[in-house]
Chain A
Amino acid sequence: MRRTATAYAAGLIFGAGLVASSMIDPSKIVGFLDFGGAGGPWNPALLAVMGGAVVTHGLLLRWLARRGGAAAPANASRAGIDRQLVVGAAIFGVGWGLTGYCPGPAIVSLGFGAGRAWAVVAAMVTGGLLAELQLRQRARRAVAVNVAR
């Protein structure tokens, strides 16, 4: 129950940050990605958001680690830099440039009740399920190959 409450609070503050920084406006995202200024002057806002978030989170994580306390669970996932990471990030980048939405702002936008946000979120969920199916199929194939060997 307590963990559910803290998760809700974290989501609320996170969403407030996305609202305050106007990252829920797809035009701000595209304005940043348009480095060449094809559609107007370049908008560095996303860089300021990332800077504020990374400096805050990075410093506080260091402070938490120095304070000791409970050892952090292994935060480095076993996965390294591989083709899957790059291909996935590349596909995400194309969708991001196309829509101006990444998952966080899309979910926050649901609160505005706009139909477009619901459509984009439904499409994101569908894409995630398609990826899940594909990854599973590939894992099965890999197992089959190993068995055949």
Chain B
Amino acid sequence: MSALWSAALGGVLIGLAATFYWAANWRIAGVSGIVRAALAGDEAGGRSEPLAFLLGLITAGLIASVLRAPPAVPGQPLAVALVGGVLVGFGTRVGGGCTSGHGVCGISRVRPRSLVATATFVALGALTVAVLARTVPSWLVAR
């Protein structure tokens, strides 16, 4: 139960951060888009805002690294993680967003496009996990 409460509280923080980024910078807190803007520049060609946002994310990880144990490293082979990472980068670019952009920011705005995207990536994620669990369970991220 307490894990669920801290999850919801973390969600509230994410919602506050997304609102703050919108109110202060007029930008969507979608991390895949921010990574892209940090590399290629935003629509005005600027890179300082997206880079600062990413630096904020990394700072949160740095602070967390002294407060808690590191996340358990998935037991799957590195090659599987690399292929998965490429699919995440490719898919979020083609689909125009990830869990934060479509999942949080888009659904908060009740955008049909984001609802469809979120339903799709959750469904395919679930299908992938189900297939791995039955075929190569050792590739499945351990719990």
Contact = CB atoms under 8 A, between A and B. Distances in A.
Interface of A: 3-27, 29-31, 33-36, 38-40, 43-46, 48-58, 60-61, 64, 72-73, 75-77, 79-81, 84-104, 106-114, 116, 119-132, 134-135
A130 B10 contact: no
Contacts of A64: 19, 22-23
B18 to A, nearest CB: 5
Interface string B109-134: 11111001110111111111110111
A122 to B, nearest CB: 7
Contact of B73 (A12, A17, A102, A116): A116
Interface in B78-133: 78, 80-96, 98-100, 102-105, 107-113, 116-118, 120-130, 132-133
A132 B133 CA distance: 32
A7 B56 contact: yes
Contact of A128 (B32, B61, B74, B99): B32
B108 A61 contact: yes
Interface of B: 3-29, 31-32, 35-36, 39-40, 48-50, 52-65, 68, 70-74, 76, 78, 80-96, 98-100, 102-105, 107-113, 116-118, 120-130, 132-134, 137, 139-143
B60 A114 contact: no
Given A17-B15, A109-B61, 6 more contacts: A12-B57, A16-B10, A17-B17, A94-B125, A108-B61, A128-B36
Given A88-B91, A98-B84, A123-B89, A9 B56 contact: yes
B95 A39 contact: no
Given A21-B11, A52-B15, A89-B91, A11 B73 contact: no
B102 to A, nearest CB: 7
A109 B24 contact: no
A87 B120 CA distance: 9
Contacts of B14: 14, 17-18, 21, 49, 52-53, 56-57
A13 B26 CA distance: 17
A3 B44 CA distance: 14
A27 to B, nearest CB: 5
